[in-house]
């Protein structure tokens, strides 16, 4: 039985998140999983609500988040990732469903972000491993 994934993808820094999404889709196919649904949200901070909606879908085995938070002039990047990741982790526990963190940042430059586009691939791999572990 194929593992069915849902993606929640941030549109902020889309030049980077599209690369992360593409690598994630390719890796899912390579591992024999399918990406059944994709929700696009404005930014990483907006992800928890979409993740919750996706987690409620009984046809989805795991949710993969894909985003990129680049450092600015303030500590805004730290606040965004800290709060979003906490809520995402809480939702995984609430729904007993793997929800992986394919979000790069905080504290990185645009160049750092380019070097971390494989986070989408890593998040897919983690989701599949968690589904398999939970099925045992």
Residue positions annotated with a catalytic role:
76
Supply 64's token pair. Answer: 């993969």
CA distance 62 to 54: 9
Q: Indicate the DSSP class of residue 106.
A: S
| 18 half-sphere exposure, CB direction, 13 A CA radius | 3
Supply 53's token pair. Answer: 């909606």
Check whether 15 is labelled as a binding-site residue: no
Check whether 73 is labelled as a binding-site residue: yes
CA distance 33 to 99: 15
Check whether 44 is labelled as a binding-site residue: yes
Check whether 88 is labelled as a binding-site residue: no
Check whether 128 is labelled as a binding-site residue: no
Supply 103's token pair. Answer: 């979000």
Check whether 92 is labelled as a binding-site residue: no
Map residue 68 onto helix, strand or coil.
strand
Check whether 90 is labelled as a binding-site residue: no
Residues annotated as binding site for 5-amino-6-(D-ribitylamino)uracil? 12, 44-46, 68-70, 101
Residues contributing to the annotated binding site for (2S)-2-hydroxy-3-oxobutyl phosphate = 73-74, 110
């Amino acid at each position: 039985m194929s593992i069915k994934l849902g993606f929640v993808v941030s549109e902020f820094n889309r030049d980077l998140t599209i690369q992360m999404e593409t690598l994630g889709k390719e890796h899912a196919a390579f591992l024999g999983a399918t990406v059944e649904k994709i929700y696009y949200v404005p930014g990483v901070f907006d992800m928890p609500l979409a993740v919750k909606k996706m987690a409620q879908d009984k046809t989805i085995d795991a949710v993969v988040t894909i985003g990129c938070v680049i450092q600015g002039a303030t500590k805004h990047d730290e606040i965004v990732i800290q709060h979003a990741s906490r809520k995402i982790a809480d939702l995984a526990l609430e729904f007993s469903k793997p929800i992986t963190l394919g979000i790069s940042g905080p504290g990185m430059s645009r160049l750092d972000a380019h070097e971390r586009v494989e986070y989408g691939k890593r998040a897919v791999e983690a989701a599949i491993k968690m589904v398999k572990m939970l099925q045992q």
